[in-house]
Amino acid sequence: MNTTNVAKIQELAKLFDTTVSEINNPGLHDGTNVANFFDFLILIPGIEAFVGPEYYKLMQKELELAEEKKNKREHVKKLYMFPNFDYAGWTNVDIDDEILNIIIEKLNKMKFSFKISDGKVNVIPDEGDMCKQIFELLKMYLDPSVRQNADATHVTVVNSNIVGDIGQDKVAEFVKGYDKHFELKFGKVKSTVSRDWSLFSLCYVIEVNSEYLDEFVAKFNEKFEKKIRPSPHITFATKVRSV
C-alpha cells in the first residue's frame, strides 16, 4: 500500500468534488459527483500499482456497492477515510469567558426547528445568520486561514445516506411530528480537520445540545431501527478547499 499516493488521490478527489459542486450541488451531498470521479480513476492504466492493491480493491468494492444506490455518500466516505476510517480528534479552543458568554447570550435567544434540506435532517434557526455573528466575535481566536462558513447555518442530525436508506418521504413524515420551535444550549468551541467532507479541511464548531433534540434522536432510532449518535454542533468557520 502506498499511503502517500492514496493521500494524493483522496485530496484530488475532494478538490474535484468541491469544484464540481458549483455545477451540481446535490451531487456533493449524495456522493454522486465524486463517485463519478472514482469511476473514471479506476479505469486509468497503472492506477492499481499507483495506489496499491488494498486501496484499489476498496475502490472496486465501494463503487460496485454504490452503483445501484441513488445516495452514494457512505461509500464515498470510506474511500476518503481509508486506511483507518477514524475521524480526526477535536481540539478545545481557549476562549475568553466574557466573549463566550456574550455569544451564548445572543444565541440562547434564538429559536430552531427541524427541516429536511440537502437530503439530511437538520436543525436550523428560524432567522438570522448565526455563523456570521459567531465568526465576527471569535475570529481573533481562529487560525487566520479560515473564513466564515458560507454554507447555511445548521446542525446535522441525520445524514443523507441514512435518509436515503429509509426513504425521504418516510423521514419527512416523521419530522412533521416534531414541529415545535425550540432553543439550543451552547457549549464549547472546538476545532478539527474534516476527513470525510470535501468542501473544507480545518473547521471550527460550537457544540449545542437540547432535550428536544435528544428525544428526536431516540424516537428516530426506535422507529427506524437505527443507531445514529450525532454530536450536535454548528460549523461556523472553515478553511475551504480550492485549486
> What are the domain boundaries of the chain?
3-81, 91-240
Mean pLDDT to the nearest integer, 208-230: 96
Question: Which distant-in-sequence residues (6+ apart) come within 8 Å of 117 by Cβ?
Answer: 124, 152, 154
The one-letter amino acid code at 36 reads: N
Say whether pLDDT at 243 is over 70: no
Predicted structure pTM score: 0.86
Lowest average pLDDT, out of 53-67, 106-120, 209-223, goes to 106-120
Q: Residue 132, Cα to own-chain centre: how many angstroms?
A: 19
95 three-class SS: coil
What is the distance between the terminal CA atoms of the chain, rounded to a whole angstrom?
27
